[in-house]
């Protein structure tokens, strides 16, 4: 039924639950699984400055990439022994990149956490999972 499953991760507890659920589905349907972590291209994080002098904390792209690769490695460890398994680190708007990759690569299912580590802006604009569920042309399973 599900030959290819895409699992976006962000390090949240819901993402780890989604990974476990996707593994169970993958084992049942003998599915290929791809784990994706998407880095949003915001390299300056706003901070509340007590003195009012420093409006931003800058983070290098290398630090962000390193964190992304660490998350992917944690996911690989949780999927130890599962085959076939692929991982990818992508750049872009998370919801759009997940939707595009699912369509471009012919995935049958997206399994993702229902509430991730989104920013304050994400809270007001809508969550990544809600956007993916709304605009995806393939089934999306949201896991709490």
- Taking the CA atoms of residue 37, residue 72, residue 127 and residue 115 in that order, the dihedral angle to the nearest 10 degrees is 170
CA neighbor of 139 nearest in space, from 108, 112, 116, 113: 108
Per-position DSSP letters for 81-117, written without gaps between them? T-SSEEEEEEES-HHHHHHHHHHHHT-SEEEEESS--
Provide the whole-model pTM: 0.84
Please list the pLDDT of the chain residue by residue as tens digits (144 residues).
899 999 999 999 999 999 999 999 999 999 999 999 999 876 545 444 455 555 555 667 788 899 999 999 999 999 999 999 999 999 999 999 999 999 999 999 999 998 755 554 444 445 899 999 999 999 999 998
């Amino acid at each position: 039924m599900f030959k290819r499953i895409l699992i976006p991760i962000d390090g949240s507890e819901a993402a780890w639950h989604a990974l476990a659920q996707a593994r169970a589905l993958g084992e049942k349907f003998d599915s290929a699984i791809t784990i994706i972590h998407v880095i949003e291209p915001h390299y300056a994080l706003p901070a509340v400055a007590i003195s009012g002098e420093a409006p931003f904390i800058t983070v290098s792209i290398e630090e962000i990439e390193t964190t992304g690769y660490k998350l992917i490695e944690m996911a690989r460890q949780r999927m130890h022994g599962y085959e076939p398994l692929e991982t990818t680190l992508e750049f872009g708007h998370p919801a759009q990149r997940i939707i595009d990759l699912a369509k471009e690569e012919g995935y049958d299912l997206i399994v993702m956490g229902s509430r991730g580590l989104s920013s304050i802006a994400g809270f007001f604009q809508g969550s990544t999972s809600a956007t993916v569920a709304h605009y995806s042309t393939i089934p999306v399973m949201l896991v709490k």
